[in-house]
Structure 1
Amino acid sequence: MALDVVELILNDHRRFEELFRELRDRSSDRPALLGELAALLVAHAEAEESEVYPALKRYKEVDGDEVDHGAEEHAEGHQALLALMEVADTASEEWEDKLEELVEALNHHVDEEERTILNDAREQVPAERRAELAKAFHAARQERLDDDCGDIEHVRKIARATADRID
């Protein structure tokens, strides 16, 4: 495990990109890949919001508005993920369209988060604190993965619970 929360988050971001490439391949096992993506995406977002974002907001050099905006974008991602998961036919045009909506929402979030929140964290948060946050993020993320957080019923629940965050 990386001892820097920024590196852990970036590793997940790169895995999201790999999963998107694989999901675009019509010959891949799309249901299995979507299950992996759903679990990782939900666990990642929930761990960021419970462990990382509140801690970063305590640093005046880290833009609290950007952190709040990141949580809004997680809500948008949950909505787009649920929309994709609810399309039964993975070979359909509707599934392809919903996948691209999710890719667009996630790529936008990842880009913004990396340029703002994570760059600020890397520059302003001491390495020791980033290591502590890495442990907390990893533990929370793993707990959610162990709880099958990518299950469609859980995704429905969090999509409903976070719908009010979307502007």
Structure 2
Amino acid sequence: MGAMIPHVPEPVTGDIVQLILDDHRLFEALLRELRLDVANREVLRACFADVVLAHGEAEEQHVYTSLQRRRTITAHEAEHGEEEHAELNAAILALWECKGLDTQKFDDAVEEVTKAMSHHIAEEEQSILRDADQDLGVEARADLGKVFCAARSKGLADHIGAEASLRRIVARAERGGLLPPEGESEEE
């Protein structure tokens, strides 16, 4: 019997705030499964990476830029969200680099991803999403939701979270100054 592939909803429309909140709950559920379901970790890791990367890229390309144009969020808030995505992507890459899926190294990598994810979700929900919910009308949230869904679906179809793609995205974040170069810590 093959590994059970988790169901990842692919909405095509919706309120952007609710769509992002729904993804956040999906991420938390997938992380719980990744901790508990040793037998299906390979499939869960790939699914988790794809949906998180597709979500993050869609947010950066469409949501953050639209909210900045509307002055709902500042350039600093958008950049901070991008930095947190970069940190999360680097943690997911470390998870990909774990060869043994039933090892302490893998468990530790899952905990690092969980910490980065929890921090980002809390901040994004308390600032960016709250502001978007208050400042955007129903129609604007629906329009942005449609664009977000299309970009997210494309990322999923392209398997954006595959290790090679993830390496390119992390390297781009390093070049863009969102992460310290590989091998350097932020304290250096």
Alignment TM-score > 0.5, same fold: yes
Output the CA distance in 2 between the equivalents of 1:32 and 1:100. 18
1:38 is matched with: 49
1:145 paired with 2:121, answer no
State how 1:85-164 maps to structure 2 within 5 Å.
85-163=96-174, 164=177
1:63–1:117 Cα contact (<8 Å) kept: no
CA deviations 1:98-140 (Å, max 9, x no partner) are 1100100011001100000000000001111110000000000
Output the CA distance in 2 between the equivalents of 1:155 and 1:57. 26
Output the CA distance in 2 between the equivalents of 1:41 and 1:150. 8
Q: TM-score, normalised by structure 2?
A: 0.85
Q: Which has the higher contact order (CA 8 A, sep 6+)?
A: 1
Partner AA of 2:93 in structure 1? L
1:5–1:131 Cα contact (<8 Å) kept: yes
Correspondence for 2:95 among 79, 84, 94: 84
2:38–2:102 Cα contact (<8 Å) kept: no
Residue 26 of structure 1 deviates from its aligned partner by: 4.6
State how 1:44-63 maps to structure 2 within 5 Å.
44-63=55-74
Of all paired residues, the percent bearing the same amino acid is 41
Partner AA of 2:178 in structure 1? R
1:42–1:149 Cα contact (<8 Å) kept: yes
2:40 is matched with: 29
CA deviations 1:75-112 (Å, max 9, x no partner) are 00110000011001011111111110010001100110
Name the count of aligned residue pairs. 167
Output the CA distance in 2 between the equivalents of 1:129 and 1:68. 22
Provide the alpha-carbon RMSD of the alignment.
Answer: 1.3
2:46–2:161 Cα contact (<8 Å) kept: yes
Q: Equivalent residue of 1:98, what SS? A: helix
What are the ranges of 5 or more consecutive residues in structure 2 without an aligned counterpart?
1-10, 180-185
Change (3 A) 1:42 1:61: closer
Residue 64 of structure 1 deviates from its aligned partner by: 3.4
Q: Equivalent residue of 2:102, what SS? A: coil
2:38–2:101 Cα contact (<8 Å) kept: no
Q: TM-score, normalised by structure 1?
A: 0.95
After TM superposition, the structure 1 stretch with the greater mean CA deviation from structure 2, 59-68 or 106-115, is: 59-68
Output the CA distance in 2 between the equivalents of 1:16 and 1:56. 23
Output the CA distance in 1 between the equivalents of 2:129 and 2:31. 22
1:62–1:124 Cα contact (<8 Å) kept: no
Partner AA of 1:144 in structure 2? G
